[in-house]
Copies of this chain bind each other. A is one copy, B any other.
Amino acid sequence: MDAIAETAESNVDVLIIGAGPAGLMAAAWMAHCGVKARIIDKRNTKIMCGQADGLQCRSLEIFDSLGFADRAWKEAHHMIEICMWNPGTDGVIRRGDRVPDTIVGLSRFQQIVLHQGRIERFFLDNIKKYSGDSIQVERCVLPESLEIDESKVDDEAAYPVTVKLRMLKEEEATPQQQISGSTVTDGLFRSNLIQEDDEDDLIRKSKARAGASEIVHAKYVIGCDGARSWTRRALGFELKGEATDFIWGVMDIFPITDFPDIRMRCVVHSANSGSLMIIPRENGLVRLYIQLKEVTPDASGRADKSKITPDVIFSAAKTILSPYKIDHEYCDWWTGYQIGQRTGTHFDAHGRVFLAGDAVHTHSPKAGQGMNVSMQDAYNLGWKVALVAKGVCRREILNTYQSERRRVAQELIEFDHKISRLFSGRPAKDVTDAEGVNMEEFKKDMFLKGNLFASGLSINYGPSSLVVKPGDAAELGDGSAKSASLAVPSPITVDEFSKKQALATGLPVGMRFNSFKVLNQSDARPWHFQERLKADGRFRVVLFAGAILSVAQKHRVDAFCAALDAPGSFLRRATPPGQQVDSVVEVLTIHSSKRTDTELLRDFPDMLHPFDKYKGWDYDKVFVDDVSYHEGFGDAYTNYGVDKEHGCVVAVRPDQYVGWVGDLEDFEGLQRYFEGCLVLRDGTVPENGAKAEMVH
Interface residues of A (CB under 8 A from B): 70, 74, 77-78, 80-81, 98, 100, 102, 104, 110, 254-258, 260, 262-264, 280, 284, 329-330, 520, 522-525, 596, 599-602, 613-617, 619, 628-630
Contacts and interface: CB of A to CB of B under 8 A. Distances in A.
A629 B596 CA distance: 33
Contact of A616 (B255, B615, B630): B255
A258 B619 CA distance: 12
This chain: copies in complex? 2
A619 B102 contact: no
Contact of A329 (B100, B525, B614): B614
B80 A602 contact: no
A549 to B, nearest CB: 15
A596 B329 contact: no
Contact of A600 (B70, B80, B260, B329): B260
Contacts of A104: 629-630
Contact of A596 (B98, B262, B525, B615): B98
Given A260-B600, A264-B524, A523-B80, A110 B330 contact: no
Contact of A260 (B78, B80, B284, B599): B599
B81 A629 contact: yes
A126 B102 CA distance: 33
B264 A601 contact: no
A616 B264 contact: no
A305 B256 CA distance: 70
Query: Which of A98, A258, A616 has the most chain B CB within a 10 Å cutoff?
Result: A616
Nearest to A258: B601
A281 to B, nearest CB: 11
B264 A629 contact: no
A548 to B, nearest CB: 15
A317 to B, nearest CB: 15
Contacts of A264: 522-524
Contacts of A522: 262-264
B78 A614 contact: no
A222 to B, nearest CB: 29
Given A258-B601, A260-B602, A329-B613, 19 more contacts: A77-B523, A78-B525, A80-B629, A81-B523, A81-B524, A98-B596, A104-B630, A254-B615, A254-B616, A255-B616, A256-B617, A257-B616, A260-B599, A260-B600, A260-B601, A262-B522, A280-B523, A284-B616, A330-B614
